[in-house]
Amino acid sequence: MIAFLKGDFVNKTPANVIVNVQGVGYDVNISLNTYSAISELQNGLLYTHLHITENAQTLYGFADMNEKQLFLQLISVSGVGASTARMMLSGMKPDEIIKAIVQSNTPQLEKIKGIGRKTAERLIVELKDKLAKLHDANIVESLPASSRIESDALDALMALGIGRTMAENVIKKTLKSTPDIDGLENLIKLSLKNL
């Protein structure tokens, strides 16, 4: 399988790009999201997925690994083909799609060309739990550093077998008693002492 292509972007359109990799030109289908990311670039790296059907072998390219992972999740749903998944990624940003599925927002998904009510509901039923983890990760990335440290500490305590509610409470208690804690490691250590 071709995991990625790194080379010169010879010809770019909103739907596809030809990538010259050491003299070999790969015709890669892309989403509008990926096009926006690479439109100003002359060369770079695209993560790829080779989609093989009875009639064709189509290469899909993605500006980042998160978009590729979402594409693979989408095409795992019955009734959602590769072209529909690419249409979804062109109609909405990956984090917007994840948010719509996690929040069971059927009307939002139905606004995408090619997605009817049944397909939107199927996407929600099959992907909601899987994408909730990605959604939480995306939220964590966009949080300020202090909130990110709290979130990482919570994950660490839960990994040690402490229940979510108890872990959340002990972190709050620790931060209240010692507001000037520096670093994740110290927050985890002090939280464990406060249990």
Q: Are residues 177 and 153 in the same domain?
A: yes
Q: Are residues 47 and 71 in the same domain?
A: no
Domain boundary among 104, 119, 142: 142
Listed residue (195, 186, 145) closest to 168, CA to CA: 195
Q: Are residues 127 and 78 in the same domain?
A: yes
Task: Give ∠ CA 166-169-171 in degrees, rounded to 5.
Answer: 110
Q: Is the pLDDT of residue 22 over 90?
A: yes
Predicted confidence at residue 88, as pLDDT, reads: 92
Tokens 């929600």 found at: 124
Q: Which string of DSSP letters, residue by residue, matches 9-54?
A: EEEE-SSEEEEEETTEEEEEEE-HHHHHHHTT-SEEEEEEEEEE-S
pTM for this predicted structure: 0.67
Counted domains in the chain: 3
Predicted confidence at residue 82, as pLDDT, reads: 92
Domain range holding 45?
4-62
What kind and span of H or E run contains 58?
strand 57-62
Q: Are residues 125 and 73 in the same domain?
A: yes
Q: Are residues 80 and 35 in the same domain?
A: no
Q: Are residues 76 and 136 in the same domain?
A: yes
Q: Is residue 125 within 8 Å of residue 79, measured between CB atoms? A: no
Residue 192 dihedral angles phi and psi, to the nearest 5°: -65, -35
Domain boundary among 30, 62, 94: 62
Predicted confidence at residue 143, as pLDDT, reads: 42
Predicted confidence at residue 142, as pLDDT, reads: 44
Give pLDDT tens digits for 27-80.
999 999 999 999 999 999 999 999 998 898 999 999 998 899 899 999 999 889
Q: Is the pLDDT of residue 160 over 90?
A: no
Q: Are residues 58 and 79 in the same domain?
A: no
**Cα–Cα dist 185/179, whole Å:** 15
Pairs from 104-108 (Cβ < 8 Å, separation ≥ 24): 104/128
Give pLDDT tens digits for 93-138.
888 898 889 888 999 998 888 888 999 999 999 998 888 765 555 5
Q: Are residues 69 and 127 in the same domain?
A: yes
